[in-house]
Chain A
Amino acid sequence: MKLLRGQPPIVKVLTGLLLAGLFLLPTVVSSPTLMQILILVIFYAYLTSSWNFVGGFAGVLPLGHAAFVGIGAYTSTLLYLTFGLSPWFGMLAGGLLAALIGVIIGLPTLKLRGAYFALATIAVGEGLRVLVENVEQVGPFAVRGPKGLLINLVPHAPLSVFQFQGKAPYYYIILIMLLAVLYLTQRMMNSKIGYYLAAGGEEPEAAEALGIKVSRYKLIAMAISCFLTALGGTFYAQMFLYFNPKSIMGIDLSYEIAFIALIGGRGTILGPVLGALLLRPVSELTRIYLSASLPGLHLVIYGLILIVVMRYQPKGLVAPVKQLFERHIIPYFDKRRAKNGAPAEETD
């Protein structure tokens, strides 16, 4: 609750209610389809929040993050399939590998102008996808090229196998992952690194002149971002038990992550969550109900939403929501409380 100190009581109450609601949700929702959509919304919010570390705070536009989702999924799954290593450990290994690759890519590219960085990340992302698609076998690992990897279903799986009956456990895992990432984002924003990045994102020369090694902090942000993104990749692999390079490392996923962040509001804590909440259901519902008659409609809607939001709310949709809260809802409850004469700290 340290994070909420200093916030108005109504925000504390709402946050508490929201969290309680999120944790109780699986007991109410019985439809697996709806559960799946909820999990995917949270999964995309998680990926976008991870992207946010570099795309939101370091002031550059990475457009190849699907590569790191793929690195996470492939590392943990290959280790599991070849050596029987628990995907929980594989997840960490994938994260570390992704962070390492992220640093290697970031070292030369983070110094370049934004446009070059965006293009370089696309090239790296697409290059890695093509590489994986062309490789059948590396040493003991059967990568299987474009066919992708299939994880065999283990009946009555122990916890170490990262497989569960039903959707609820996956829901809780990804929810906890999202909350952890949001907490980390909040901590970073209010830390030295966060301030340095904010300074370096807008005026790199000025920040450098003040003695801030901007590119070093950008690299740290990149490493964190890649690490977290790769954890999401392992989650995806264990949830669907099947993936291929196109589905998990494709350029579409990279763009979708960036779209969600920009529509929600990049460089904010809740922007990615808001963006995922808004866009994922659109894409899931149009995919379920309209994909037969109108393929690609959800992408047209994505594009249009993006253009309209960038036109009228270039800071993302989180800005007007925040404004609504600060201007209307909080004063309204403050006034009511003052009228009832309630003691200020009672709701704590």
Chain B
Amino acid sequence: MLSIVESLLNGILMGSIYGLTAVGLTLIFGVMKVINFAHGSILMVGMFAAYWFVKLTGMNPYLALVVVVPFLFCFGYMLQGYVIKPIFDAEKDVREPITVIIVTTGIWYVLDNLAMILFGAEYRVVHTAISGKMFEFHDMYFLWPKLIGAGITLLCGVYLFWFLKHSKLGKAIRATSLDREAATLMGIKQSQVYNIAFGLGSACCGVAACVLVPFYYVYPTVGVSFDLKAFVIVVLGGLGSIPGAILGGIIIGIIETVGAQFMAATWTELLIYAFFLAVLFVKPSGLFGLRQDY
């Protein structure tokens, strides 16, 4: 019984990190109606950035947040501004922007394999002061880096939610996601909002990357599994919904860790896809999604 509670809590910890990557994805989708297939690769870029920062300076991994998050914001901002924007503009009025989706897949291929060429395929780990340290609570054990990571990601999620709700820029972003034309008529510069949304989405990956590095392997295709999970999570939580993404992330984290108590870990992957398809078939708007067109 205790082991189930322990894995349940561990699932929540890991799930909130999944949740933050999914928040980035859902933010980009909400504003641009484009699924960013390169999202996992952006996370990978962030993880390598954090890895080299810690490796070269030897500083506390959480200090990397200060460097990696702005770096990834700029990375996403420029990726959208220079690579995606021209293709997006050509397809702006099309109901199903397929070309943009496939271009983000192209970006994914380029980034992952460039990393493979530059850094090699081996799995890297950073040894930090808190790596492998356990937190004991009533005979249950939790990794300290996971606890801290979940705390930071949840804080970031809540802050982002508040930011979108109350700040002026956040309101502009929400207005654009609701109605592009009307937002433009109100004097909101669309392309700027897209760039910022993409940058913010990437910055979410930056936060997740920094908190993952102390306890997770870094390798060029690390993003793929996070990517697939993020897709599942955003649909689960309702495409475009930020609280939905965080809750969806926690659900996936729980399925993964609690499921592993009863079956081989490879089967839990299947369980996630099956759950995803079931939600898609029964309630495509997601568990917490608003009624949108789907």
Binding site for B on A (CB under 8 A): 59-61, 108-109, 112-116, 118-120, 122-124, 126-127, 130-131, 133-134, 251, 255, 258-259, 262, 294-297, 299-300, 302-304, 306-307, 310-311, 314
Judge if B123 is at the interface, Cβ distance under 8 Å: no
Judge if B91 is at the interface, Cβ distance under 8 Å: yes
Q: Is the CB of B110 within 8 A of A307?
A: yes
In the assembled complex, the CB of A29 is this many whole angstroms from the nearest CB of chain B, namely 31
Q: List 18 A-B contacts (CB under 8 A).
A: A59-B96, A108-B281, A115-B34, A116-B294, A118-B35, A123-B273, A127-B270, A131-B270, A255-B105, A259-B106, A296-B116, A296-B117, A300-B110, A303-B106, A306-B106, A307-B103, A310-B103, A310-B106
Chain B interfacial residues counted at CB < 8 A: 50
Q: Is the CB of A115 within 8 A of B29?
A: yes
In the assembled complex, the CB of A283 is this many whole angstroms from the nearest CB of chain B, namely 12
Q: Is the CB of A295 within 8 A of B35?
A: no
In the assembled complex, the CB of B283 is this many whole angstroms from the nearest CB of chain A, namely 11
- Identity of the chain A residue whose Cβ is nearest the Cβ of B97 in the assembled complex: A114
In the assembled complex, the CB of A132 is this many whole angstroms from the nearest CB of chain B, namely 10
Q: Is the CB of A115 within 8 A of B269?
A: no
Q: Is the CB of B35 within 8 A of A115?
A: yes
CA distance A314 to B97 in the complex (A): 12
CA distance A295 to B284 in the complex (A): 39
A126 proximity list for chain B (CB < 8 A): 228, 269, 273
B114 proximity list for chain A (CB < 8 A): 296, 300
Interface segment among B82-90, B164-172, B196-204: the answer is: B82-90
B99 proximity list for chain A (CB < 8 A): 262, 310, 314
Q: Which DSSP category, helix, strand, loop or mixed, fits chain B's interface?
A: helix
B33 proximity list for chain A (CB < 8 A): 115
CA distance A295 to B116 in the complex (A): 7
A311 proximity list for chain B (CB < 8 A): 86-87, 103
In the assembled complex, the CB of B194 is this many whole angstroms from the nearest CB of chain A, namely 17
Partner of A304, one of B91, B106, B117: B106
CA distance A114 to B101 in the complex (A): 10
Contacts A304-B106, A306-B105; is A112 near B270 (CB within 8 Å)? no
Contacts A108-B281, A119-B231, A299-B113; is A113 near B105 (CB within 8 Å)? no
CA distance A134 to B109 in the complex (A): 27
- Identity of the chain B residue whose Cβ is nearest the Cβ of A300 in the assembled complex: B113
CA distance A115 to B99 in the complex (A): 11
Q: What total count of A-B pairs have CB within 8 Å?
A: 135
- Identity of the chain B residue whose Cβ is nearest the Cβ of A305 in the assembled complex: B106
Partner of A294, one of B83, B117, B267: B117
CA distance A118 to B234 in the complex (A): 14
A113 proximity list for chain B (CB < 8 A): 96, 293-294
Judge if B1 is at the interface, Cβ distance under 8 Å: no
CA distance A123 to B121 in the complex (A): 26
Q: Is the CB of A134 within 8 A of B266?
A: yes
CA distance A236 to B147 in the complex (A): 48
Q: Is the CB of A134 within 8 A of B270?
A: yes
Partner of B101, one of A108, A109, A118, A124: A118
In the complex, the 8 A-B pairs of residues with the closest C-beta atoms, listed nearest first? A296-B113, A303-B109, A114-B96, A127-B273, A303-B110, A306-B106, A296-B116, A303-B106
Judge if B67 is at the interface, Cβ distance under 8 Å: no
Q: Is the CB of A122 within 8 A of B228?
A: yes
Please encode chain B, from 246 to 288, with 1 for each CB lying within 8 Å of some chain A CB and 0 for all others.
Answer: 0000000000000000001011011001101100110010000
Q: Is the CB of B98 within 8 A of A61?
A: yes
In the assembled complex, the CB of A33 is this many whole angstroms from the nearest CB of chain B, namely 24
A119 proximity list for chain B (CB < 8 A): 35, 231, 235, 280
Q: Is the CB of B281 within 8 A of A300?
A: no
Q: Is the CB of A297 within 8 A of B117?
A: yes
Judge if B239 is at the interface, Cβ distance under 8 Å: yes
Judge if B66 is at the interface, Cβ distance under 8 Å: no
CA distance A311 to B88 in the complex (A): 9
CA distance A294 to B239 in the complex (A): 38
CA distance A118 to B239 in the complex (A): 14
CA distance A232 to B57 in the complex (A): 53
CA distance A61 to B37 in the complex (A): 13
CA distance A46 to B269 in the complex (A): 31
B102 proximity list for chain A (CB < 8 A): 61, 258-259, 262, 306, 310
Q: Given A112-B294, A114-B98, A299-B112, output 18 extra A-B contacts at Cβ < 8 Å.
A: A61-B102, A108-B281, A115-B35, A123-B280, A255-B109, A259-B105, A295-B116, A295-B117, A297-B117, A300-B110, A302-B106, A303-B107, A303-B108, A303-B113, A306-B105, A306-B109, A307-B107, A310-B99
Residue of B87, B102, B224 with most chain A CB atoms under a 10 A cut-off? B102
Q: Is the CB of A307 within 8 A of B281?
A: no
A59 proximity list for chain B (CB < 8 A): 96
Partner of B284, one of A112, A124, A130, A306: A112
- Identity of the chain B residue whose Cβ is nearest the Cβ of A118 in the assembled complex: B101
In the assembled complex, the CB of B271 is this many whole angstroms from the nearest CB of chain A, namely 9
Judge if B242 is at the interface, Cβ distance under 8 Å: no
Partner of A127, one of B116, B224, B277, B281: B277
B284 proximity list for chain A (CB < 8 A): 112, 116
Partner of A306, one of B34, B95, B103, B277: B103
CA distance A112 to B110 in the complex (A): 29
In the assembled complex, the CB of A277 is this many whole angstroms from the nearest CB of chain B, namely 19
